[in-house]
Structure 1
Amino acid sequence: MTTKASYQRARKKAEQYFHDRNWKPFPFQKEAWKSYAEGKSGLVHAPTGTGKTYAVWTPTLLEWMSEQKGKEMPKRAPQLRVLWLTPLRALVEDTTRTLEELSEGLGLPWTIQSRTGDTSGSVKAKQRKKYPSCLVTTPESLSLLLSYPETKEAFSDLRAVIVDEWHELLSSKRGTQTELCLARLRKWNPELKTWGLSATLGNLDTALSTLVGSHENSVLINGDLKKKFVVKTIIPRDMEKFPWAGHLGGKLVEDVAKQIEKAKTTLVFTNVRSQTEYWYHALVSVRPKWENDLGIHHGSLDRKDRTEVENRLRAGKIKAVVCTSSLDLGVDFSPVEQVIQIGGPKGVARLLQRAGRCGHQPGAISRVFCVPTQAMELIEYAAAREAMEARKIEQREPLRAPLDLLAQHLITLALGGGFSDKEALQEVRTAWSYRDLSEEEWGWTLDFVIRGGNTLRAYDQFKRVVVKNGIHCVESKIIGRFHRMSIGTITSDQAITVKFKTGKTLGTIEESFISRINPKSNFYFSGKLLRLERVRDLTAIVSIAKAGKGAIPVWGGGKSPLSSELSIAVREKLKQAKTGSCKEPEMKAIAPTLSIQDKNSTLPEQHQFLIEKTVTKEGVNWFLFPFAGRLANEGLAALASYRMSKIIPMSLSVSFNDYGFHLCSNEDLDLGEKEWRELLNPENLIDELLDCMNLSEMAKRQFREVARVAGLIFQGFPGAQKSARQVQASGGLFFDVFSKYDPENLLLTQSRREVLERQLEVERILSKLQEIKSQDLIINYPRRLSPFAFPLWAESLRTQVSTESWGDRVRKMAEELEQTN
């Protein structure tokens, strides 16, 4: 119990601490303190570097201080009172240090420790005997803790759960896993307060509801401090008029190096890991003296090497780090003075997040310099800057009741002391993503974990949960052990560990890449040119290559599509370009290209849908421009080609990018507005996508992830994981068996839905087709490829020629087109 007087004394002490450091709490921070003291849960949404951590950490300490009622401060640390959840292990150390700083500054005896997959077994064992006052951990580690029966007692005095970077978790299974864990903790302690932190979200009300579940006493705190972001672009001196993907960035390496020289420390962000390896070596090639002053950081590198780079960043002892989203989130690297973004940002939130890695203090300016890898990305930069200023940020929607994760969670509950049917259903439905969970879905999932469902009843290893006296529990120690080793939702292709002969680990590479490298051949990895000696037992033994070139690894996961918000902003920029009202340097640089597009075809406005038909020696080419992002455009291309082939049997080649798609055939169909309206009709969309995209094979691949999360596939013990082929075979076998003998299996239904929603963005496809119905169709017949069509044509040649000859051929065509224009 606390009194108003004791709370005011604690508050005064905290304010004095901030005053002594010349810090003045912002209004949003004070609002969070007040709301927490009133027993509310909430979401704090404020720009990066404005003190969100202090907004929610301070009141948890004030609560404990006020409970002392003015008495002498105890010397013994309190038991666990706060759980701090973070989406990335890289954030844990930095977060722990920040929390300790305030606790120690206030003279409190609190202990703050971290617990992740990297924490040693001995530390984990000690923590389970005596937890710290605050535990910084991840959703997976929290779920694992809930599988131990003694956790309920250990968490008996838990007062608050803080979820950092909630926007990063929200629309993923890790976010849904967090929801289920929070539902369990609220069941144990109905007075538990849940607070989330976010910097880049569009749908704040939904984000709040998803975080707090059915907890009605909640508040949204928007700390709109108008943080200043400066977005500039490194514009090529010789601008191409016919853009094509990937080649432009290489011309700007020297410009990027000169920009890095202007700052003490720089973060160079790329969109994919392969680009990180390329740009690290490109920068070293133009600045050899920087080899020891440049760092490389991405998720496939060894944890020790990444930690070393992070520590050098904090200490300001590194010139620049080339990285991926592995350094996107809230780690505070104060020495970073500027950010460089390689390639299109693809989303407003992503550029905001990355820009916020510098100027990570209240009132500081965050500066980001953008480097195009193809000319059309200049429009993205101008559009993103405008959207950032208007705070038009992408929405992230929570998932709808994934049953693979529910099955995993039910086994966790059964291990952690057991559960009863009706009470567990009531608890699960308090999680926002499961609020509409049906009785049928609940009953099916229960049957799946108890008896293995309709098809696996004969196999004891799939009877993981038993029911005794109405309580669901796990009796088998082996099942318990396997389950705890498999908790989580992060899945990826099987990785090959890369090691030197001496035993030092460099990181991991996907099996599919290393299988294409011959022994004694070279490849780039971890900032080094390596020579592959041999591959044995999922380990690639390497040595430093003395000279030569090498292949750059490719990882699965693909490229992010252009977001809906940024797509709208790009279309607005094209409209401005058509009227000559663009003043941004990026739009001025791309103006000659857009002028040729408008002259040879048109610059489509928002109410127009552009189709171009051009005949080349490859055949008859149709180019369509929905501006729907690469995933949706892929689905639209498949749908249109499928419907065209139903008019007359023909073979069609397809290519696509963020702006449009390309269909090429030897058949010259006479397609006018009426025919195109029929080809782009939204009716029967799902059924025809199922027919035309080999959805069964896509669903089979997706089912491997679903089966792994649901516990059907055990990937092996640490150091003895199954190979990719073994995992694929296991997942494929389950998929085929269920498809044949249990076609109504809800995990099959889920895998198909995830393909439609995540891999094809079917909702975006449907929305775009509905939009096209109301748009004016503009069908043009340019004699030569237009600037919009050229990159799609270039992409279609990739499967026909080798990479080197492809580049030569595309470059030659671009030069010919520029001469004729």
Structure 2
Amino acid sequence: MRYPSTAREVSAALAAWFETRGWKAFPFQRGVWRAVAAGRSGLLHASTGAGKTYAAWLGALQAFSSRQDAGKGPAPLTVLWLTPMRALAADTERTLQASLAALHAQVPGLRPWTIGLRTGDTSAAQRSAQARRLPTALVTTPESLSLMLARADAREVLSSVRMVVVDEWHELLSNKRGVQVQLALARLRRWNSALRIWGMSATLGNLDEAMDTLLGTPMEGAEAGLLVQGKLTKQLTIDTLLPARMARFAWAGHLGLQMLPQVIAHIEPCASTLVFTNTRSQSEIWYKALLEARPDWAGLIALHHGSLDREVRDWVEAGLKAGQLKAVVCTSSLDLGVDFLPVEQVLQIGSAKGVARLLQRAGRSGHAPGRPSRITLVPTHSLELVEAAAVRVAVRAGRIEARRPLQQPLDVLVQHLVTVALGGGFEPGALLDEVRQTAAYRHLSTENWQWCLDFVRQGGPSLAVYPDYHRVVPDEHGVWRVPDARLARRHRMNIGTITSDASVRVQFYSGGGGAGGARLGSVEESFVARMKPGDCFVFAGRALELVKVHEMTAYVKRAPPGRATIPRWNGGRMPLSNTLADAMVQLMAEAAARHYDSPEMRSVQPLLELQQDWSALPTPDTLLAEVLHSREGWHLFLYPFAGRHVHIGLASLIAWRAAREQAGTFSIAVNDYGFELLSATELDWASLLPQLLAPAPLDTLLTEVLGSLNASELARRRFREIARVSGLIFQSHPNERRSNKQLQASSALFYEVFRKYDPANGLLRQAEQELLQDELDIQRLADSLARMQGQRLVLCRPVRATPFAFPLMVERFREKLSNESLADRIARMVQQLEKSAGAAPSGDETSEQVHEAVGFNEEPRATGPRAPRTRRRRTGS
């Protein structure tokens, strides 16, 4: 297409800038530039480090740059760049600034553009300046965009936006933040029907659905979205650090820090390494262990996770960019698009639990077109070697997990209604049409819409007498607004859909009654609540002693030498993905045929061969079950390989169904590979299992699953998060920070009031739906039952715990034994089992190793409900 003269000049200048850096535009970048110039919207999918940022940004510069008008200052807000993480936002701003400076230098007379950043880390002075005049391009987060929509002059300041870029769309697609983005985009499109919207992603399996969710229903006369794929050859190496000895009886986390010498040897020759862990607890443990093993690395290695203070995170990111840090131990806080060119390799401690997550982290190394990426997997238990081999198979086959978008979360819609009422008000009919333009609410019923209106107007029938819940009311012209300034301030302070336990700031104690010293970050209140002054813990790579807790701040000092506690956070936990599980089972089938074709599979061969000798190995066509009698009772072990979430529901469902046939009590343990049911009496599992595993219509299955669990308590827990998002309870009031205990009490009170006086409350229904969809993954559970129905049941009766059964028994012991007694019991069991199996291939697990591993226990656990101790008795005759 023919560009206007200004666009041609800009294009030529940017091409020259590319050449000075030794780059050449890729076809997918040119495709996005042409599409943006033509007014198209779409989704760009390309590998990490391929240049997606320049595809979107340079397209915007070419399409929207103009000549300077006399007497006018910088161009108004034109581009909104949404990122899911603060670290990514700061890095993006630096990237955009570099090309903009070159453009202004090479093309005189252009109306100048400015770039700004607005996130939770933005200072008050910067926010004040932005309130007076927004930059031409604003890099921000979904929460900050919603906060801008709550401004009384929102339409005036945002109607000039001509393009929105949503970076790392896969991170937002399947959660409430993604729904928040959809609603915000619908509002911006109403103010500017020609708005261009572009999403960017590197790891998605359902591209068409992802693009449809981002763009929503096309405006009348608009062209359909354009899917642009940057298919570049990217050299990716995935290898594994193999343990020096292979334990045939392993449990979650049993390798622990035994892999530390190999990790150090792997870091040593490289200039810069990222060491990814799945949880913040793991990152603290590994950073401390590395520093103790190599004190000469002090100042050369660092720690990075989301609970550390912003200044600490900024220092680490700057050191990585400058190539000054040899290694950084990190979590998902550095997962996304941050450009650290010096990073040569990535280490992944434990399984990434999914193909997409592994590819995302691998892309942090060699983060530039043409540069190879490398990720080395560090197993934390023996079966993670199979996961390592399986993930490489899945990557070679191009199998990446799909991320399913949410449908109709009413709590997000309720929050949006209050936001829009603050941002100039709304007329219900017009806003309903706008909301239905989003994929999330495309099929929103009139009844649910009216419920949401009633809820923001008076809190529904049970809260109508309380003024605090009369948040939005129509004025004399029929426009719904928020008339109470106090309620308006409270809403603005709590906009967002990220929910977590209340956090407590960690700060050095300066002594006396003065202010504290340096801030280190924050930990969850639930962790600090279990501590008393004098207790020690590890945080920010330091051993700390708690001095006191005052006004949501934990004051600390350096701890004396000795053992400390590692703080536990509730985030960062994930189950095994379907894609990875299927690849694992296929490798098990090959092992059953005595084929071990990779270093990982050959390393774990002794364990798998013993499993096959004592029992069997699962295959895609068979479902493995084991029945074992011990001093504890009768054990059923079943191995569907469906992930923790599904196994919790499956185990509870089977126990519930079995109890209807024969009265009994069951104890349950689960992991990602299977589950255990322990009963005091013998059951005929051979005849029972086929009927117990029978699939059922989804509504029947829902009833059974909810009946098999303490569904009321689980739904109450989900309701706490929904209550925060919908504005029933508030984490933060003006001049007040509420504790987690207060929030729990408040949400529990609302839950009981609604159950008793407003059982049709939409938020109650949503709590049950989220429990089924997110925590129990009911659709995947139904699919698993259907798949198992088509498999041949292989029921084995081993005389002792098999290598697959042993980790499930350890999971159950963890629920009732302390670390010390658990370690002793595991050590005895391992010795007895190895003796029965014959000489161990590399020697027995020592008692000291077991104690260390039990204390380390670093497996990422699912966020679903803890495996319950289920008691069901048959009723009737």
| TM-score by shorter chain over 0.5 | yes
Task: Give the Cα separation in 2 of the matches to 1:666 and 1:261.
Answer: 53
Are 2:138 and 1:135 equivalent residues in the alignment?
A: yes
Are 2:404 and 1:405 equivalent residues in the alignment?
A: no
Are 2:101 and 1:100 equivalent residues in the alignment?
A: no
Superposition deviation, residue 814 in structure 1: 1.8
Whether contact under 8 Å (2:490, 2:734) holds in the other structure is no
Superposition deviation, residue 364 in structure 1: 0.8
Percent identity of paired positions between Structure 1 and Structure 2: 48
* Partner in structure 2 of residue 734 of structure 1: 750
More deviation, 180-189/102-111: 102-111
* Partner in structure 2 of residue 240 of structure 1: 247
* Partner in structure 1 of residue 350 of structure 2: 343
Are 2:801 and 1:774 equivalent residues in the alignment?
A: no
State the one-letter code of the partner of 2:690: R
* Partner in structure 2 of residue 89 of structure 1: 86
Of 386, 393, 396 in structure 2, the residue corresponding to residue 389 of structure 1 is 396
Residues 179-218 of structure 1 aligned to structure 2 (within 5 Å)? 179-215=182-218, 216-218=223-225
More deviation, 498-507/71-80: 71-80
* Partner in structure 1 of residue 764 of structure 2: 748
* Partner in structure 2 of residue 116 of structure 1: 119
Are 2:177 and 1:174 equivalent residues in the alignment?
A: yes
More deviation, 111-120/808-817: 808-817
Superposition deviation, residue 745 in structure 1: 0.4
Are 2:645 and 1:631 equivalent residues in the alignment?
A: yes
TM-score computed with the length of structure 1 as normaliser: 0.97
Are 2:592 and 1:578 equivalent residues in the alignment?
A: yes
Secondary structure of the 2:606 match is: helix
Runs of 4+ in 1 over 6 A off after TM superposition: 71-75
Task: Give the Cα separation in 2 of the matches to 1:571 and 1:277.
Answer: 33
State the one-letter code of the partner of 1:590: V
Superposition deviation, residue 328 in structure 1: 0.5
Task: Give the Cα separation in 1 of the matches to 2:735 and 2:85.
Answer: 23
Deviations 1:307-334 (A, max 9, x none): 1111111111112111110110011111
Task: Give the Cα separation in 2 of the matches to 1:203 and 1:590.
Answer: 33
Whether contact under 8 Å (1:533, 1:541) holds in the other structure is yes
- In structure 2, relative to structure 1, the CA distance for the partners of 1:735 and 1:52 (3 Å cut) is same
Of 668, 675, 697 in structure 1, the residue corresponding to residue 688 of structure 2 is 675
State the one-letter code of the partner of 1:257: I
Secondary structure of the 2:244 match is: coil
State the one-letter code of the partner of 1:186: R
Secondary structure of the 2:177 match is: helix
Of 297, 305, 310 in structure 2, the residue corresponding to residue 290 of structure 1 is 297
Superposition deviation, residue 719 in structure 1: 6.6
* Partner in structure 1 of residue 666 of structure 2: 652
Superposition deviation, residue 304 in structure 1: 1.5
* Partner in structure 2 of residue 483 of structure 1: 491
Residues 489-504 of structure 1 aligned to structure 2 (within 5 Å)? 489-502=497-510, 503=516, 504=518
State the one-letter code of the partner of 1:677: P
Structure 2's unaligned 5+ residue stretches are: 105-109, 511-515, 838-877
Of 249, 260, 264 in structure 2, the residue corresponding to residue 257 of structure 1 is 264
Superposition deviation, residue 510 in structure 1: 1.5
Whether contact under 8 Å (2:40, 2:226) holds in the other structure is yes
- In structure 2, relative to structure 1, the CA distance for the partners of 1:251 and 1:74 (3 Å cut) is farther
Whether contact under 8 Å (1:144, 1:484) holds in the other structure is yes
Superposition deviation, residue 72 in structure 1: 9.8
Superposition deviation, residue 283 in structure 1: 1.1
Whether contact under 8 Å (1:249, 1:371) holds in the other structure is no
* Partner in structure 2 of residue 358 of structure 1: 365
Superposition deviation, residue 742 in structure 1: 0.6
Whether contact under 8 Å (2:494, 2:732) holds in the other structure is no
More deviation, 674-683/266-275: 674-683
More deviation, 181-190/713-722: 713-722
Task: Give the Cα separation in 2 of the matches to 1:580 and 1:541.
Answer: 58
Are 2:128 and 1:125 equivalent residues in the alignment?
A: yes
Superposition deviation, residue 2 in structure 1: 9.2
Secondary structure of the 2:440 match is: helix
Whether contact under 8 Å (1:44, 1:195) holds in the other structure is yes
Whether contact under 8 Å (1:334, 1:359) holds in the other structure is yes
Deviations 1:322-347 (A, max 9, x none): 11101100111111111100001100
Superposition deviation, residue 518 in structure 1: 2.9
State the one-letter code of the partner of 2:790: S
Are 2:826 and 1:810 equivalent residues in the alignment?
A: yes
Task: Give the Cα separation in 1 of the matches to 2:433 and 2:158.
Answer: 21
* Partner in structure 1 of residue 849 of structure 2: none
Superposition deviation, residue 290 in structure 1: 1.8
Secondary structure of the 2:507 match is: strand
Superposition deviation, residue 147 in structure 1: 0.8
Superposition deviation, residue 4 in structure 1: 4.3
Superposition deviation, residue 781 in structure 1: 0.3
* Partner in structure 2 of residue 425 of structure 1: 432
Task: Give the Cα separation in 2 of the matches to 1:73 and 1:53.
Answer: 32
Superposition deviation, residue 22 in structure 1: 1.7
Superposition deviation, residue 558 in structure 1: 6.4
Whether contact under 8 Å (2:489, 2:734) holds in the other structure is no
Whether contact under 8 Å (2:278, 2:572) holds in the other structure is no
Task: Give the Cα separation in 2 of the matches to 1:386 and 1:167.
Answer: 22
Are 2:711 and 1:702 equivalent residues in the alignment?
A: no
Superposition deviation, residue 291 in structure 1: 2.7
State the one-letter code of the partner of 1:596: L
Task: Give the Cα separation in 2 of the matches to 1:360 and 1:74.
Answer: 42
Task: Give the Cα separation in 1 of the matches to 2:22 and 2:91.
Answer: 22
* Partner in structure 1 of residue 540 of structure 2: 526
More deviation, 765-774/304-313: 304-313
More deviation, 330-339/711-720: 711-720
TM-score computed with the length of structure 2 as normaliser: 0.91
* Partner in structure 1 of residue 28 of structure 2: 28
Whether contact under 8 Å (2:506, 2:519) holds in the other structure is yes
Task: Give the Cα separation in 2 of the matches to 1:316 and 1:20.
Answer: 22
Deviations 1:230-250 (A, max 9, x none): 011110111111121112031
Are 2:74 and 1:77 equivalent residues in the alignment?
A: yes
Whether contact under 8 Å (2:538, 2:564) holds in the other structure is yes
More deviation, 514-523/737-746: 514-523
Task: Give the Cα separation in 2 of the matches to 1:8 and 1:427.
Answer: 36
Are 2:772 and 1:764 equivalent residues in the alignment?
A: no
Structure 1's unaligned 5+ residue stretches are: none
Whether contact under 8 Å (1:51, 1:362) holds in the other structure is yes
Secondary structure of the 1:519 match is: coil
Deviations 1:118-155 (A, max 9, x none): 11222212212211110000000000001112121122
Task: Give the Cα separation in 2 of the matches to 1:137 and 1:571.
Answer: 42
Deviations 1:646-681 (A, max 9, x none): 222222111000000001111111221x31012112
Are 2:558 and 1:544 equivalent residues in the alignment?
A: yes
Task: Give the Cα separation in 2 of the matches to 1:637 and 1:417.
Answer: 51
* Partner in structure 2 of residue 557 of structure 1: 571
Deviations 1:99-122 (A, max 9, x none): 011111112621101011211222
Task: Give the Cα separation in 2 of the matches to 1:808 and 1:184.
Answer: 61
Whether contact under 8 Å (2:667, 2:678) holds in the other structure is yes
Are 2:175 and 1:159 equivalent residues in the alignment?
A: no
Deviations 1:426-479 (A, max 9, x none): 000111111111101101001110121111111111011111222111111111
Of 531, 542, 549 in structure 2, the residue corresponding to residue 535 of structure 1 is 549
- In structure 2, relative to structure 1, the CA distance for the partners of 1:533 and 1:4 (3 Å cut) is closer
State the one-letter code of the partner of 1:457: A
Task: Give the Cα separation in 2 of the matches to 1:155 and 1:57.
Answer: 19
More deviation, 556-565/72-81: 72-81
Of 693, 696, 714 in structure 1, the residue corresponding to residue 709 of structure 2 is 693
Task: Give the Cα separation in 2 of the matches to 1:121 and 1:4.
Answer: 40
* Partner in structure 1 of residue 846 of structure 2: none
More deviation, 148-157/361-370: 148-157
State the one-letter code of the partner of 2:747: G
Superposition deviation, residue 682 in structure 1: 2.5
Task: Give the Cα separation in 1 of the matches to 2:808 and 2:72.
Answer: 68
Task: Give the Cα separation in 1 of the matches to 2:14 and 2:628.
Answer: 70
Superposition deviation, residue 557 in structure 1: 3.4
Superposition deviation, residue 292 in structure 1: 2.3
